Amino acid sequence: MSRVAIVTGGTRGIGEAVSIGLKKAGYKVAANYAGNDDRAKAFAEKHGIAVFKWDVADYDACMKGVAEVVAKFGPVDIVVNNAGITRDSTLKKQSRAQWDEVLDTNLGGCFNMCKAVWDGMLDRGFGRIVNIGSINGQAGQYGQVNYAAAKSGIHGFTKALAQEGAPKGITVNAIAPGYIDTDMVAAVPPNVLEKIVAKIPVGRLGKAEEIARGVLFLVADEGGFVTGSTMSINGGQHMY
């Protein structure tokens, strides 16, 4: 029996590598995305992975989207809450809309997706949830009060939900990536990125596949004793 996995934001960047890694390992994978239809279509054709469009910040859309995945593949065993956005600016310039958008997507999305699958996981006595946090949720980052708060919230959410899932066969863990070579990091101005890379002891950006390896470890059936943990994959930049 192959397990069914949903990867939010699973068509680009880290999520793309996670979707591909899970498929290669034999899981049935549903890759969610928000709006970039061209990238999603190209991804689906290239990798033979089904894609599903919905906004993780929208509670009702998550319920509907998960129902579509269940109709196609069967009950969901694994959710990788990876969808995330940045809307960087200092607090002085940050609008309430920038705050809300980042909190609603990055943290609200975890709540919405967990709500959509939780009862089924409880009923079946099995589940694996992996929430993608960030080094900047652990350490903070200039110009990212919204993003750091959302990612820090993910780490608290993970530890709290892990306690609810533990007696029921459901593990809930987080991964805190450092700086990974994706579109999100490509948006960082080159002079700022240069300074960031200089602070990474491994001496380079991480690869999306290096995060996918962590996800594969956490979602394995054999991973039942690992829960409530945060795996830092950051090239030694922040030893938490």
Nearest 10 degrees: Cα torsion 111, 213, 168, 77: 70
Stretch that binds ligand NDP, among 19-27, 35-43, 70-78, 164-172 (CB under 6 A): 35-43
Query: Which of 4, 34, 117, 174: binder of ligand NDP (CB under 6 A)?
Result: 34
E-strand stretches of the chain = 4-7, 28-33, 50-53, 78-81, 127-132, 170-177, 230-233
How far apart (Å, rounded) are the C-alpha atoms in residues 237 and 219?
Answer: 25
How far apart (Å, rounded) are the C-alpha atoms in residues 131 and 106?
Answer: 10
55 interacts with ligand NDP by CB under 6 A: yes
Stretch that binds ligand NDP, among 5-13, 68-76, 88-96, 165-173 (CB under 6 A): 5-13
116: nearest Cα among 67, 150, 50, 165: 67
134 interacts with ligand NDP by CB under 6 A: yes
Residue number with CB closer to ligand NDP (57 or 126): 57
Residue number with CB closer to ligand NDP (121 or 150): 150
84 interacts with ligand NDP by CB under 6 A: yes
Give residues 144-203 in contact with ligand NDP (rule: CB under 6 A): 177, 179-180, 182-185
Where b means 16+ CB within 10 Å and e means fewer, 124-159 reads eebbbbbbbbbbbbbeebebbbbbbbbbbbbbebbb
21 interacts with ligand NDP by CB under 6 A: no
> Would you tell me how many other CB atoms lie within 10 Å of the CB of residue 169?
14
Stretch that binds ligand NDP, among 6-14, 63-71, 115-123, 159-167 (CB under 6 A): 6-14
33 interacts with ligand NDP by CB under 6 A: yes
Residue number with CB closer to ligand NDP (27 or 179): 179
Q: Which residues are catalytic?
A: 147
60: CB partners within 8 A, 6+ apart: none
Tokens of 104: 């609603």
Q: Which residues bind ligand NDP (CB under 6 A)?
A: 8-9, 11-15, 32-36, 39, 55-57, 82-85, 105-106, 132, 134, 177, 179-180, 182-185
